A and B are shown apart, each in its own frame.
Chain A
Amino acid sequence: MRYLSLIGARLAKSVLVLLAILVLNFFLIHMAPGDPATVMAGEAGATDEQFLEDLRERFGLDKPLPIQLMHYLGGVLTLDFGYSYRQQMPVLDLVMDRLPATLLLTGSAFAVSLLFGILAGTMAAMRAKRPSGSIIMGLSLLFYATPLYWVAMMAVLVFSVFLGWLPAYGYTTVGAQYTGLAYLWDVAQHLILPATTLGLFFMAVYTRMTRASMLSVSQQDFVKTAHAKGLAPGVIQRRHILRNALLPIITLAGLQAGQMVGGAVLTETVFAWPGIGRLMYESLMQRDYNLLLGIFFFCALLVIIFNLLTDLVYRLADPRIKEAA
């Protein structure tokens, strides 16, 4: 019961947070110079007053800002996110169309980085004084410090252009009419490079954090007690040290999960992955206000959901945490 009322209170707060985010974003993006009509006129290579007025009237941009805001918020309350000015399609359709690709990419990157990060970190902690531990830490420092776009381009050059093992870009092979398993295999091949590239940075972070956290936990009295009891080293590592060392990892994983929707702009651009990060970047450049606000809304929503989930996972990992929130 206590959990439920807690979740209820958090949700009520979340609605307010979402509303604040919408209003803030609305004014922020209207402060950027230019509007969708000037962008479209610029691309057309010719324009006149009538063309601009037509567009602004159609987009509702001829009305005062507060009225535009009221109109927009009214729409959102009925789950109507409006039309994309440029693409002439409902924002909801566009977002839902691109969301699965992004979730697949960032979800895979998340799983890979968490799994291998914790594994590598544990190994590094157990071999803290041996060369193999230093090698792991060296590599993780390298991945931590290398810019994402550079890794992405090098990966394309090596694995796609020189070796020809993996496709260079895209979500599926263009023109191939795969179905069933063959289709899944095709998508999986396209997924490997971008997911690995995107996951490398967080994998490095998890490795370093797991190692540091495990080393500090292993100095604590209850670990000495466990050793004194004569427990097997493997059991101590897993049940006593790792479990206690996981709390900071969960915090970080919560943050990364929150970034899953909007945080892959670079990777999606380099690998031409048809996800929402690219849609966001393009709609920002084109001042497609409705679409941009819609994407911000879904990003914010996911951050809130993942924060809530993170809180719940804390309680599973450490039963001592109860009402701290």
Chain B
Amino acid sequence: MMKLSRSLLVLVASASLTITAWGKTPQSGGMINVAIQPEPPGLMLGLIQNAPTQRVAGNIYEGLLRYSTDLKPQPQLAQSWDISDDGMTYTFHLHDGVKWHDGQPFSADDVVFSADVFLRQTNPRTRMILQHVKSIQAPDPQTVVFQLKAPFPPFIQAFEVGTMPMVPKHIYEGTDFRSNPANNTPIGTGPFKFVKWDRGSVIQLAKNEDYYEPGKPYLDGIYWHVIPDAASRAAAYENGTLDVMPAGSVENFDIPRLSGLDNSCMTEKGNEYFNPFAMLWLNNREGPTRDARFRQAVMYAMDRDFAKNVLWNGLGNVAQGPFSTKLAAHDENIKGYPYDPDKAKALLDEMGYDGEPVRLLPMPYGETWTRWGEAIRQNLEAVGINVETEATDVAGWNQRISQWNYDIAFTYLFQYGDPALGIARTYISSNIAKGSPWNNVEGYRNPEVDQLFTEAAGMNDPDKRQALYHQIQHKLYDDVPVAWLMELGFPTIYRCNVHDLISTGIGLSDGFKNAWIEQ
């Protein structure tokens, strides 16, 4: 049942190639001008995992698979793949005639090197996923076999370019990866090649003429404009210099204005894989937040519809529970905590809250987050909670959270297409360790939840897996280890004559392979 037919996949893939927006035939040619904020620290995607790096380098590097906007795997460097019935063996059949940008052939050896050697050493998130893998082998130059230690169905979601980018073995083997001079002139297999980078100004990519998918890419190249100030970026879009404003490069209050300009379009697509989920860390170890009743009171006290409608311009969704509503594992029966200040006050009375102040850390990511911090502070104070806001910069915020030095703190996390990849890490007790702002920072310990997450991650039967995840959601819903705020909407604003800009659930970070400009 899990076995996927190779011929069927090729059929689906070729069908998807011919379908374009509004049935128009793509036109070749033209440069596209895109804002990039902040400036990436480097473009070697195997070494650096932050968002701006992936956005630019997602055009240079490729993964074995892409994912549709409903998170179904699609072919990329792997033309087709089979998963054995026991869920233990993943076999990938690679695309023919793929070349690195320097002309060297790409083969299964590169895949083995990238996953087994390079990424295991450099990428902590990939390293964690690869713990499930016993061996990675290349029986022939076009085939790669991943052998797992135990069934781990979410594994098929892990071949996206940011999680598992393919890096050239002939350049990196036997070198010190982080100081290899080639990091400044990245070589991938992707639709665009690196041309040059004027630091502080612009990154230029050019069409890869030898790209293995015929006719693609359509664009001649991409200019990534580095403009640090949000108002200046907006002005550059208004006066026609920029064609695309990726998610996060427009301040929320500017979204209606910019998307309302002539020939300006907006889409919320392209976020499905990352699915950014905003929440409040609630310190489960000490202070009033240690009491589950206090944490429930926080949920009831917050007017999250206000945040959505006013601060986020109505984009995104108010979170219903610990799982994003966009995930298949989300339980429809869970209806999020309503805004009910009286209930919050009652809970606080019941626990005997004595007005002990709690420290609130807003997120230092710009205007919207600052205002959100103020709004929640107001909500909490309205039910009698004594709040002290402590603002820091990004480095300080990371430090405070990873050293557990807070009571309530804003954050947002990616869900990575599957609860085992993006959600379990927040709640399982084996993931409690100082030093990281992304693990079980709140210090929630529940052996039952631990057990359920472990069982669900290894469960091959989708119905049983679904049942386990529903159980988990109900337990977490009652315990409120963290406060769930919103599934964030990060819109992309672009000129309407740019077509097929976003064709996957990874959005712009998956490259401009299909994008074309109508002349």
Contact = CB atoms under 8 A, between A and B. Distances in A.
Interface of A: 32-35, 38-52, 58, 86-89, 94, 97-98, 101, 153, 156-157, 160-161, 164, 167-172, 174-175, 269-272, 274-275, 278-279, 282, 285-287
B223 A175 contact: yes
Given A45-B125, A46-B49, A87-B42, A32 B235 contact: no
Contacts of A160: 235, 239
Contacts of B497: none
Contacts of B42: 86-88
Contacts of B38: 282
A274 B436 contact: no
Contact of A174 (B225, B228, B235): B225
A169 B227 contact: yes
B402 A161 contact: no
A274 B199 contact: yes
A272 B239 contact: no
B238 A41 contact: no
Contacts of B223: 174-175
Contacts of B455: none
B16 interface: no
A279 B201 contact: no
Contacts of A86: 41-42
B414 interface: yes
A47 B392 contact: no
B228 A269 contact: yes
A33 B392 contact: yes
Interface string B21-64: 00000000001010000110110000011110000000000000
B231 interface: yes
Contacts of B413: 45
B229 interface: yes
Given A41-B437, A174-B201, A34 B396 contact: yes
A157 B231 CA distance: 10
A299 to B, nearest CB: 17
A167 B236 CA distance: 9
B309 to A, nearest CB: 27
Contacts of A87: 41-42, 199
B395 A272 contact: no
Given A45-B49, A88-B179, A170-B201, A270 B232 contact: yes
B470 interface: no
Given A40-B50, A156-B235, A286-B395, 14 more contacts: A33-B392, A33-B395, A39-B398, A42-B394, A46-B128, A86-B41, A88-B183, A156-B231, A168-B232, A175-B31, A175-B33, A270-B229, A272-B226, A285-B395
Contacts of A40: 41, 50
A49 B400 contact: no
Nearest to B239: A161
A50 B232 CA distance: 40
A174 B202 contact: yes
Given A42-B437, A50-B124, A168 B398 contact: no
A100 to B, nearest CB: 12
B238 A161 contact: yes
A184 to B, nearest CB: 17
Interface string B401-435: 01000000000011000000000010000000101
B398 A41 contact: yes
B394 A169 contact: no
Contacts of B395: 32-35, 38-39, 42, 285-287
Q: Which of B179, B200, B435 has the most CB of A within 10 A?
A: B200
Contacts of B356: none
Nearest to B364: A285
B402 A38 contact: yes
A274 B235 contact: no
B264 to A, nearest CB: 14
A157 B123 CA distance: 43
A47 B201 contact: no
B389 interface: no
A143 B50 CA distance: 41
Nearest to A48: B124
Contact of B436 (A41, A168, A174, A175): A41
B185 interface: no
Interface in B431-476: 433, 435-438
Given A33-B395, A42-B437, A174-B33, A48 B127 contact: yes
B124 A38 contact: no
Nearest to B401: A42
A52 B435 contact: yes
7 contacts: A32-B395, A41-B124, A48-B124, A167-B241, A174-B33, A174-B241, A269-B229
Contact of B438 (A45, A89, A282): A45
A272 B227 contact: yes
Nearest to B434: A49
Nearest to B126: A46
B393 interface: yes
